[in-house]
């Protein structure tokens, strides 16, 4: 039996920094398993995978304020190494008897340089001067007993500190962000040199251990999976198929709101290349009927979400004796739901569209629960899935329904599908579809414009092209696509898509716009 790859990694205590997840990603990129916990989670929970060290994240609070999140006693009692980052460093100092004060004159936000002065296992082998990313208003003014300064910056005499005997270290900047030049090396030194973690967390090792875990959970029972064509459900499907073969049946619902040739491509990859059992339910007519005359975005989402569940359930009911439902839940979803919903204001009700409710009566199999998106992609590639699935741009659950503004009819959807395919094809040819742009698509507007073709007046519909760059989809900028590319796309759409005589390019960022038009 292969051992649990999650044992002996790093536990990260989250104090609310926007970068906490990045700390875990950086560690995992170097093969060290890392998990994020609320700072006040139960010790048994934090220690469930027997970490070899702790990282205390940054956070928005000030350690000297009443009610500031504290350092749990069990962390210090464990005798394991600790690395404090920003708030984490201040917390370590404050708790162990040092002093932290607000800094009025030399607060540091953005790039800074640290000067490395003193040998230590954390910084040995790194240059004397290093660019780092700072973001703090408070600073350590007196070190706790046992600590020495290892590096300083203009604004922070204690930019890096350490107590080598107790193996406690702290950095005032953020080693997890790319702007900190040797941040990865510092995290690596902490995890391997100081904590003694072995780099064992690789996609291939993950696949072996996940296959075993799925077999143990599922036994000889049947599993169903809702395949959307998106990367998470695709990788979950391929992994479960590798573990239990034909005990897995996937259900692929065509809502009629998919892109050109998407159903054929999904079936080709999963049925033919992966050899999986896939039930194809073409529910286009049902969805079009239900959406007839509906133009309000939230109403569309609700109708599609409900009908999707009905169609899925109808197909699942025909399979007898299914005990498990597989889902492509990934680690950021798990972290978010553990925090509870922070969203104060619902802009769009996206997240449940295309999701399946817990009350369907199945037990869940979620083999990707421990993975970040980039890890899911690596696992997908290692499982033999093609790049166009593994690197697919996100596609919303309601699909083209929220890109076809106005009447949702088959001819209008086909018009949109055709224009969208031309846009994607040209982006692909220019090498701009993967990596450079995060999401690119066409939108059909509910207006008509006058044009002239040959000597004839035309009065036809308008396509908008949208292409954005973003890392997190919370904020986005419009992509500065080359004019020549836009000209070629516009020319082709007007010439090849009947009923469209005008193409516009959306130059709105988010905020104030959103990525989708609805
Ligand atoms: P917005 O338009 O809110 O989109 O800037 C942010 C990201 O979410 C996707 N999106 C959705 N995904 N169901 C989904 O599964 C939805 O209803 C939905 N609405 C927007 C959007 O494509 C972008 O990636």
Distance of CA 94 to the CA centre of its chain: 34
Lowest mean pLDDT among 7-11, 70-74, 135-139, 450-454: 135-139
Among 327, 330, 515, say which to mutate for ligand 1: greatest number of ligand atoms within 8 Å of CB. 515
Contacts (Cβ under 8 Å, ≥6 apart) of 468: 437, 438, 439, 440, 476, 477, 478, 479, 510, 515
Provide the pLDDT confidence category of residue 371 given band limits of 50, 70 and 90.
Answer: very high
DSSP-derived secondary structure for 329-370: --HHHHHHHHH----SS-S--GGGTT---GGGS-EEE-TTTT
Say if CB 77 and CB 43 are below 8 A apart.
no
Ligand 1 pocket residue status of 397, Cβ below 6 Å: yes
Portion of the chain with pLDDT greater than 70, in percent: 95
Burial status of residue 493 (CB atoms within 10 A of its CB: 0-12, 13-18, 19 or more)? buried
DSSP 401: G
Which residues have CB under 8 Å from 260's CB, separation 6+? 417, 418, 420, 421
Q: How far apart are alpha carbons 29 and 31 in whole angstroms? A: 5
State the catalytic residue, choosing from 29, 35, 108, 176: 176
pLDDT at residue 172, rounded to an integer: 96
pLDDT at 495 over 80: yes
pLDDT of residue 344: 42
Phi, psi of 121 (to 5 degrees): -60, -20
Note the pLDDT of residue 354: 55
Best residue for ligand 1 mutational test, from 226, 333, 516 (most atoms within 8 Å of Cβ): 516
The predicted model gives 493-504 an average pLDDT of 98
Judge contact between 440 and 505, C-beta under 8 A. no
For residues 311-320, average pLDDT: 94
Q: What angle do CA 44, 46, 47 make, to 5 degrees?
A: 65
Across 334-349, average pLDDT? 59
Span from the CA of 440 to the centroid of ligand 1 (angstroms): 12
**pLDDT tens across 64-74, in order?**
999 999 999 99
Active site residue 176: yes
| 136 pLDDT more than 90 | no
Indicate whether residue 394 lines ligand 1 (CB < 6 A): yes
- pLDDT in the model for residue 87: 97
Which pLDDT tens digit goes with each residue over 397-453? 999 999 999 999 999 999 999 999 999 999 999 999 887 899 999 999 999 999 999
For residues 440 and 425, the answer to whether their CB atoms sit within 8 Å is no
Residue 274, pLDDT above cutoff 70: yes
What is residue 44's predicted lDDT score, i.e. its pLDDT?
97
pLDDT at residue 341 in the model: 39
As a whole-number percent, the residues of the chain with pLDDT over 90 amount to: 85
The pLDDT value recorded for residue 360 is: 80
pLDDT band per the 50, 70, 90 thresholds, residue 349: low
Average pLDDT over residues 344-363: 66
Instruction: Report d(CA 367, CA 444) in Å as an integer.
Output: 38
**pLDDT tens, position by position, 184-222:** 999 999 999 999 999 999 999 999 999 999 999 999 999
Query: Rounded to whole angstroms, how far apart are CA atoms 227 and 347?
Result: 27
* 86 assigned to active site: yes
Q: Could you tell me the end-to-end alpha-carbon distance of the chain, in angstroms, rounded to an integer? A: 50
Name residue 140's beta-bridge partners: 100
SS3 105: coil
Give the number of other CB atoms < 10 A from CB of residue 23.
28
Task: State pTM to two decimals.
Answer: 0.85
In this predicted structure, the answer to whether residue 355 has a pLDDT above a threshold of 70 is no
DSSP 175-215: TTSTTSTTHHHHHHIIIIIIT-------HHHHHHHHHHHHH
Residue 256 is classified by DSSP as S
The pairing of strands 82-85 and 168-171 is parallel
By C-alpha distance, which of 438, 455, 458, 446 is closest to 501? 458
pLDDT of 340? 46
Task: Say if ligand 1 is within 6 A of residue 516 CB.
Answer: yes
Q: Is 396 in the pocket of ligand 1 (CB under 6 A)?
A: yes
């Amino acid at each position: 039996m292969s051992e649990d790859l999650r044992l002996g990694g790093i536990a990260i205590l989250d104090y609310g920094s926007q970068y906490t997840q990045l700390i875990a990603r950086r560690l995992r990129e170097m093969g060290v398993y890392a998990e994020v916990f609320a700072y006040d989670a139960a010790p048994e929970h934090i220690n469930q995978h027997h970490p070899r060290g702790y990282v205390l994240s940054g956070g928005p609070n000030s350690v000297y304020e009443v009610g500031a999140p504290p350092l749990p006693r069990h962390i210090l009692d464990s005798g394991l190494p600790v690395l404090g980052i920003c708030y984490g460093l201040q917390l370590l100092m404050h708790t162990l008897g040092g002093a932290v004060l607000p800094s009025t004159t030399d607060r540091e936000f953005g790039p800074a340089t640290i000067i490395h002065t003193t040998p230590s296992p954390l910084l040995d082998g790194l240059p004397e001067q290093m660019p780092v990313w700072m973001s703090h208003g408070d600073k350590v003014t007196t070190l706790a007993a046992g600590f020495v300064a290892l590096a300083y910056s203009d604004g922070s005499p204690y930019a890096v500190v350490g107590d080598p005997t107790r193996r406690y270290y702290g950095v005032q900047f953020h080693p997890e962000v790319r702007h900190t030049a040797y941040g990865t090396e510092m995290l690596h030194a902490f995890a391997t040199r100081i904590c003694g973690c072995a780099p064992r967390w690789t996609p291939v090792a993950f696949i072996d251990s996940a296959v075993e875990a799925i077999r143990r959970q599922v036994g000889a029972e049947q599993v169903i999976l809702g395949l959307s064509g998106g990367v998470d459900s695709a990788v979950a499907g391929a992994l479960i198929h590798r573990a239990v073969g034909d005990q897995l049946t996937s259900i692929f619902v065509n809502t009629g709101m998919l892109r050109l040739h998407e159903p054929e491509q999904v079936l080709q990859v999963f049925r033919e290349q992966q050899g999986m059992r896939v039930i194809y339910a073409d529910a286009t007519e049902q969805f079009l009927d239900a959406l007839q005359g509906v133009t309000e975005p939230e109403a569309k989402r609700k109708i599609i979400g409900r009908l999707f569940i009905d169609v899925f359930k109808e197909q699942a009911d025909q399979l007898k004796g299914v005990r498990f439902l597989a889902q492509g839940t990934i680690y950021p979803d798990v972290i978010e739901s553990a925090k509870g919903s922070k969203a104060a204001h619902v802009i769009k009700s996206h997240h449940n569209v295309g999701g399946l409710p817990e009350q369907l009566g199945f037990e869940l199999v979620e083999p990707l629960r421990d993975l970040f998106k980039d890890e899911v992609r690596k696992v997908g590639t290692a499982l033999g899935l093609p790049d166009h699935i593994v690197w697919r741009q996100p596609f919303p659950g309601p699909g083209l329904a929220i890109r076809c503004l106005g009447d949702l009819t088959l001819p209008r959807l086909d018009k949109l599908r055709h224009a969208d395919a031309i846009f994607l094809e040209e982006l692909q040819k220019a090498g701009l579809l993967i990596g450079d742009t995060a999401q690119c698509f066409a939108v059909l507007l509910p207006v008509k414009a006058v044009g002239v073709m040959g000597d004839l007046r035309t009065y036809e519909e308008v396509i908008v092209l949208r292409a954005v760059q973003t890392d997190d989809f919370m904020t986005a900028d419009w992509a500065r696509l080359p004019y020549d590319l836009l000209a070629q796309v516009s020319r082709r759409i007007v010439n090849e898509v009947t009923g469209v005589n005008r193409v516009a390019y959306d130059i709105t960022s988010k905020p104030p716009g959103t990525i989708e038009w609805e």
